Amino acid sequence: MAEKNKFYITTPIYYVNASPHIGHSYTNIAADTLARHMRRVLGKENTWFLTGTDEHGQKIERAAEKQGLTPGQFVDRVVVQFRDLWDKLNISYNDFIRTTEDRHIKTVQRSLEILYKNGDIYEGKYEGWYCTPDETFWLESQAPDKLCPDCRRPLEEIKEINYFLNLQKYQSWLIEYIKNNPLFIRPENRRNEILSFLTLNKLSPLCISRPKERLSWGIPLSFSASHVTYVWFDALINYISAVGEFDANDKYHSRWWGEDSRVVHLIGKDILRHHAVYWPIMLKALGIRMPDTIFAHGWWMLGEGKMSKSRGNVVNPLDMVDKYGIDTYRYFLLREVPFGLDGNFSEDSIIKRFNADLANDLGNLIYRTLNMVEKYFQGKIPQHDIFSRRYDAAGEEIKNILDFPASQRASFSRDINSSLSAESDFNFSLAFESIWRRISMANKYIEESKPWNLAKENKIDELSAFLGLMIEVISQVGRQIESFMPYTADLIKEQLGEKEIKKGKPLFPRIENKETDT
């Protein structure tokens, strides 16, 4: 088996029928954190981060009509909002794919041609019920009340000729593949959910086309002039259309989808079935290897309900960034709940996290340490070999948990690497706990050691060594949070300087909030 020395991570491509919300930003911040981390581990040249937009389908066509625009004009306007949000959130994607681009259209049509030629796609008649908002077909037995089982909106009765992908042909293979590859679908409860669905249900053929007379805004089928591609088949192909192509013999080639690359899809749990059932079968039928991990994270809730456009209860990420700052927002989303579980979003919770973790812990450690360097050493960082010096028990423990051997790549602690692995379900919250343990210990060490007394007693060597240790703690914390909170990491590096500090204002001044401070 080839060594996995490359890393390819993707987000879903986001549907542009409305503006982006917290759910979109959550996935992209998580993917950005993993991409930044892997660039430190494997190098920038061996890490690729893809995001983008899904721009075809009936919802887009209807949304454009309501605004008096062509679908092309409509998607061009909305895509700008996504790009602007990713820039504002410091998202370091390598590529942004749009499903209206030629490279994508070409790969979708080629994929359809291969499947049609191989007999995996066939023509058939469809009679049943259709949910336009979800762009999903339902059998009458699945929706006896004529309401969509997912969104509970009215279904339309449809009778038409379409093309279908034979999912059942690959059902037994998929069950065995999931059973034999425990990291393929994560977290574990989502893996069990898909296995249960596949074991208890016979897969129906997937309709992969729409008649042009009903929907014109889609990628045309090369083997049927009267049909366009179903938006979900179109969308899933983006993961391969962005990074490779088929040769003349129908073989797919890609630097990022080879056996030496770890391929990870991050998605929301509401689109798990599309990614864990349709997508693997599409890849298998095309003769392309599987991704290594499909990770479905949870939802952000407001009160008791899911945050969604249809419910009108979405929170604009830009408002949160403007109010609390980029890295506060990133920190809250990644720290508040283990990745994979649902979380409850509130501004009170953001403020509590800000004051307790960022202001009282991290901000306080940096500001008080730099104050002492400025006061006792005129801003010059004490030069001591802190790792050859003996301290009291608390100091020795801090020195040991720095885990600082120069040979360790990028000074990243093993527990952080472990927390951000697929085996640990990309547990950002656990990684933060490890970092904050160092911060808490350092703050406690300052309180217990009372270094200002060393100054009063003119014990300059002891004070110098003490502050040197604190500077090293802060320096390493800055490196460790770089993947999570890149803007803050830059500010820490700037304030530490090289040999002389450049102390600025506190990085995280407390937010006074009567409701949260009582």
| Domain ranges, ordered by start, for the chain | 6-297, 347-517
Orientation of helix 326-335 relative to helix 22-42, angle to 10°: 90
User: How much is the pLDDT for 256?
Assistant: 98
Q: Which residue has the higher pLDDT, 243 or 397?
A: 243
Q: Residues 407-423: what's their mean pLDDT?
A: 68
Q: Report the b/e string of 197-233 with b at 16+ CB within 10 A.
A: ebeeeebebbbbbbbbeebebbbbbeebeebbbbbbb
Sole residue written with tokens 């490890």 = 434
Q: Residues 320-348: what's their mean pLDDT?
A: 95
Among candidate residues 286, 208, 283, 291, the one with its CA nearest the CA of residue 256: 291
Give the mean pLDDT of the chain. Answer: 90
What is 347-517's CATH number, 2.170.150.70, 2.60.34.30, 1.10.730.10, 3.40.710.10? 1.10.730.10
Sole residue written with tokens 């009372």 = 450
How far apart (Å, rounded) are the C-alpha atoms in residues 316 and 84? 13
Tell me phi and psi for residue 472, to 5 degrees: -65, -40
Structure tokens that stand for 474 in this block: 């802060």
User: How much is the pLDDT for 100?
Assistant: 97
Q: Residues 111-131: what's their mean pLDDT?
A: 92
pLDDT band at 460 (very low <50, low <70, confident <90, very high): confident
User: How much is the pLDDT for 197?
Assistant: 96
Select the highest-mean-pLDDT range: 151-165, 169-183, 299-313, 456-470.
169-183
* β-strand partners of 265: 10, 294
Q: Which fold has domain 6-297?
A: Rossmann fold (3.40.50)
Task: Give helix then strand counts, H and E, for the chain.
Answer: 21, 18
pLDDT digits (tens, 9 = 90+) for 58-82: 889 988 999 999 999 999 999 999 9
pLDDT band at 516 (very low <50, low <70, confident <90, very high): very low
How far apart (Å, rounded) are the C-alpha atoms in residues 339 and 425? 7
pLDDT digits (tens, 9 = 90+) for 9-63: 999 999 988 778 888 999 999 999 999 999 999 999 999 999 999 999 888 998 8
How far apart (Å, rounded) are the C-alpha atoms in residues 215 and 480? 50
* 273 class by beta-carbon count within 10 Å (0-12 exposed, 13-18 middle, 19+ buried): middle
Q: Residues 327-337: what's their mean pLDDT?
A: 96
Q: Which residue has the higher pLDDT, 268 or 23?
A: 268
Query: E-assigned strands of 271-379?
Result: 293-297, 300-302, 305-306, 343-344
Sole residue written with tokens 């700037």 = 494
pLDDT band at 308 (very low <50, low <70, confident <90, very high): low
The pTM (predicted TM-score) of the whole model is: 0.91
User: How much is the pLDDT for 307?
Assistant: 61
